[in-house]
Amino acid sequence: MSNAKQASLLVRGYEVVIGFETHAQLSTQSKIFSRAPIAFGAEPNTQACAVDLALPGTLPVMNRGAVEKAIRLGLALGSHIAEQSVFARKNYFYPDLPKGYQISQFEIPVVQGGEVSFFLGDEKKTVRLVRAHLEEDAGKSLHEDFIGQSGIDLNRAGTPLLEIVTEPDMRSSAEAVAYAKELHKIVTWIGICDGNMQEGSFRCDANVSVRKPGEPLGTRREIKNLNSFKFMQQAIDYEVRWQIEQIEDGFEIQQATVLFDPDTGETRAMRTKEDAADYRYFPDPDLPPLVIARSWVDEVKAQMPELPRQMAERLVTAYGLPEYDATTVTQSPAMAAYFEAAAKASGQAKMASNWIMGEVSAALNARGISIEQTHYGPEKLAGLLLRIADGTISNKAAKEVFAEQFGHSLHAVGSTFTGSYAVQIADVASVDAVIESKGLKQMNDSGALEAIIDEVMTANAPMVEQFRAGKDKAFNALVGLVMKASKGKANPQQVNDVLKQKLG
Ligand code: ADP
Ligand code: MG
> Ligand 1: which of 92, 129, 220 to mutate, judged by most atoms within 8 Å of the beta carbon?
220
| 274 Cα: distance to centroid of ligand 1 (angstroms) | 12
Closest listed residue to residue 21, CA positions, set 176, 126, 198, 175: 176
Contacts of 406 (CB under 8 A, 6+ apart): 360, 363, 374, 376
> Ligand 1: which of 21, 112, 172 to mutate, judged by most atoms within 8 Å of the beta carbon?
21
| 19 Cα: distance to centroid of ligand 1 (angstroms) | 6
257 bridge partner residues: 222, 271
Going from N- to C-terminal start, the domains of the chain cover: 3-298, 308-438, 446-503
303, 81 Cβ separation under 8 angstroms: no
Q: Give the pTM.
A: 0.85
Q: Closest ligand 1 atom, CA of 20? A: 14
223, 239 Cβ separation under 8 angstroms: yes
| 208 Cα: distance to centroid of ligand 2 (angstroms) | 13
| 207 Cα: distance to centroid of ligand 1 (angstroms) | 6
Closest listed residue to residue 109, CA positions, set 149, 65, 153, 79: 79
**Looking at the CA of 255, which ligand is closest?**
1
| 125 Cα: distance to centroid of ligand 1 (angstroms) | 19
| 218 Cα: distance to centroid of ligand 2 (angstroms) | 17
- Cα 58 from Cα 111, distance rounded (Å): 28
Q: What is the pLDDT along the chain (504 residues), one digit of tens a residue?
A: 555 565 568 999 999 999 999 999 999 999 999 999 998 889 999 999 999 999 999 999 999 999 999 999 999 999 999 999 999 999 999 999 999 999 999 999 999 999 999 989 888 999 999 999 999 999 999 988 788 889 999 999 999 999 999 999 999 999 999 999 999 999 999 999 999 999 999 999 999 999 999 999 999 999 999 999 999 999 999 999 999 999 999 999 999 999 999 999 999 988 776 777 789 999 999 999 999 999 999 999 999 999 999 999 999 999 999 989 999 999 999 999 999 999 999 999 999 999 999 999 999 999 999 999 999 999 999 999 999 999 899 888 999 999 999 999 888 887 778 778 876 789 999 999 999 998 888 877 778 888 999 999 999 999 999 998 888 889 999 999 998 998 878 888 889 889 998 887
**Looking at the CA of 257, which ligand is closest?**
1
Q: Whose CA is nearest to atom 22 of ligand 1?
A: 220
Most distant pair of Cα atoms in the chain: their distance: 98
Q: Closest ligand 1 atom, CA of 273? A: 3
pLDDT score, position 28: 97
Q: Closest ligand 1 atom, CA of 218? A: 23
Q: Whose CA is nearest to atom 6 of ligand 1?
A: 167
- Cα 176 from Cα 347, distance rounded (Å): 37
- For CA atoms 359, 362, 364, 366, the dihedral sign is negative
Identify each DSSP E strand in 262-313 by its residue range: 266-272, 282-283, 290-291
| 111 Cα: distance to centroid of ligand 2 (angstroms) | 15
pLDDT score, position 2: 52
Strands 101-105, 87-91: pairing kind: antiparallel
**Looking at the CA of 207, which ligand is closest?**
1
Q: Closest ligand 1 atom, CA of 168? A: 16
30 bridge partner residues: 37
| 18 Cα: distance to centroid of ligand 1 (angstroms) | 8
DSSP H/E element including 118 = strand 115-120
The pocket around ligand 1, CB under 6 angstroms, is made up of 17-21, 165-168, 207-209, 217-218, 220, 276
- Cα 32 from Cα 439, distance rounded (Å): 60
DSSP conformation class of 372 = G
Q: What is the DSSP string of 158-182?
A: T-EEEEEEE-S-B-SHHHHHHHHHH
Q: Closest ligand 1 atom, CA of 166? A: 14
pLDDT score, position 504: 77
CATH of domain 446-503: 1.10.10.410
**Looking at the CA of 219, which ligand is closest?**
1
| 369 Cα: distance to centroid of ligand 2 (angstroms) | 36
Q: How many CB atoms lie within 10 A of CB 354?
A: 15
Q: How many CB atoms lie within 10 A of CB 286?
A: 13
| 475 Cα: distance to centroid of ligand 2 (angstroms) | 66
Contacts of 299 (CB under 8 A, 6+ apart): none
- Alpha-carbon Rg for the chain, nearest whole angstrom, is 29
**Looking at the CA of 127, which ligand is closest?**
1
Q: Which amino acid is at 3?
A: N
| 153 Cα: distance to centroid of ligand 2 (angstroms) | 24
Q: How many CB atoms lie within 10 A of CB 71?
A: 22
Q: Whose CA is nearest to atom 7 of ligand 1?
A: 165
Q: Closest ligand 1 atom, CA of 21? A: 14
Instruction: Note the residue count of the chain.
Output: 504
User: φ and ψ at 277, to 5 degrees?
Assistant: -60, -30
User: φ and ψ at 305, to 5 degrees?
Assistant: -75, 165
| 151 Cα: distance to centroid of ligand 2 (angstroms) | 27
Q: Please return the burial class of 9, using the count of CB atoms within 10 Å of its CB with bins 0-12, 13-18 and 19+.
A: middle
Angle formed by the axes of helices 473-485 and 461-468, nearest 10°: 150
Query: How many Cα atoms sit within 13 Å of 303 on the Cβ side?
Result: 13
Q: Closest ligand 1 atom, CA of 217? A: 23
**Looking at the CA of 206, which ligand is closest?**
1
Q: Whose CA is nearest to atom 14 of ligand 1?
A: 19
Closest listed residue to residue 108, CA positions, set 131, 79, 91: 131
- Cα 396 from Cα 442, distance rounded (Å): 10
> Ligand 1: which of 133, 165, 204, 219 to mutate, judged by most atoms within 8 Å of the beta carbon?
165
